[in-house]
Amino acid sequence: MGIVSRAGDLFYAFRFLKLLVTPFEKTEAYKLGIVDKDGKRTKLKLMHDKEKSAYTVFHRLVFNIKRLLGKIPGGKSVVARYGAALFLIKEHTGMSEKAILDALEKFLDEDLSSEVIEENTWYQQDDKLVPGTYMLTTDVASVKTGNIIANKKNKIVVEDFLPPHGQFRNINIYKVKHKATNQDIYITNKDITR
C-alpha cells in the first residue's frame, strides 16, 4: 500500500470519526433540513449542489451507523457506546487505539483516558461468549455496506464457546453470524440478551 493511499485512508478515518462524534444538530445536513435531530432523513429529494454536498453516500453511512450506535447501552461513555465501531476503524485503517482516542479527544474536547470502561460479562466465560441463542438488543449494520441487516430482537446463534475477535479499550468484540442473512456482524456483550 503506497503512502498516498495510507494518507487517504487516514484522512477518511479522521473524517469518519469527526462526523461520528458531531451532534446531528451541528451538521450541515441538519441546518439545511435534510435530517432531523436524530439523524433521520426528512427531505427526500435534494435539489441544490449545497444539499447534495451536505448529504452524500458517506454522510448517509456515518449517520446510519451513528443512529445505530446511539442505541447501544453504555451511558455517556463514548468509547463504551462506540466500541464495536471504533474496533472496526482500528482494524480497517491500521490506526492504533491511542491515535483513535486522540482524535476523539480532539474533536470532543474531552479527556477520555480517565474513563473507566466496564464490560458486561453476563454471557461470557473466560472472555468467551457462551454457546446459545441470543436476541439482539439493538440494530446492527453490515460492515460492508453500512445498511442495517440485523434488527433489534433478531436472533444470533453461537455454536461453541466463541473467543473475542478483538478488543477496544477492554471491551470484547465478537464476530457472529446473523441467522436471517447469514452475514457476519460485530457485537459486544451489551448488544445481546437471552
Q: Where are the alpha helices (DSSP H) in 33-82?
A: 49-54, 57-70, 78-81
Q: Which of 6-15, 88-97, 101-110, 136-145 has the lowest mean pLDDT?
A: 6-15
Please give the backbone phi and psi of residue 133, each rounded to the nearest 5 degrees, phi first: -100, 130
Whether pLDDT at 31 is above 90: yes
Domain-by-domain residue ranges, the chain? 3-108, 124-193
Domain 124-193, CATH number (from 2.70.70.10, 2.30.30.40, 2.40.37.10, 3.40.50.2000):
2.30.30.40
Which pLDDT score, from 0 to 100, does residue 70 have?
A: 62
In order of 17, 48, 57, the CA distances from 12 in angstroms are 8, 24, 13
CA distance 69 to 78: 10
Q: Which region holds residue 153: left if phi is over 0, alpha if psi is between -120 and 50, else beta?
A: left
Which pLDDT score, from 0 to 100, does residue 95 have?
A: 78
Which pLDDT score, from 0 to 100, does residue 163 have?
A: 94
Which pLDDT score, from 0 to 100, does residue 33 have?
A: 93
Which pLDDT score, from 0 to 100, does residue 190 have?
A: 80
11 confidence band (pLDDT: 50, 70, 90): low
Tens digit of pLDDT for each residue in 159-172? 899 999 988 777 88
For range 14-29, the mean pLDDT: 81
Which pLDDT score, from 0 to 100, does residue 74 have?
A: 42
Tens digit of pLDDT for each residue in 170-185? 788 899 988 888 888 8
76 confidence band (pLDDT: 50, 70, 90): very low
75 confidence band (pLDDT: 50, 70, 90): very low
Instruction: Judge contact between 131 and 159, C-beta under 8 A.
Output: yes
146 confidence band (pLDDT: 50, 70, 90): low
3 confidence band (pLDDT: 50, 70, 90): very low
For range 76-91, the mean pLDDT: 64
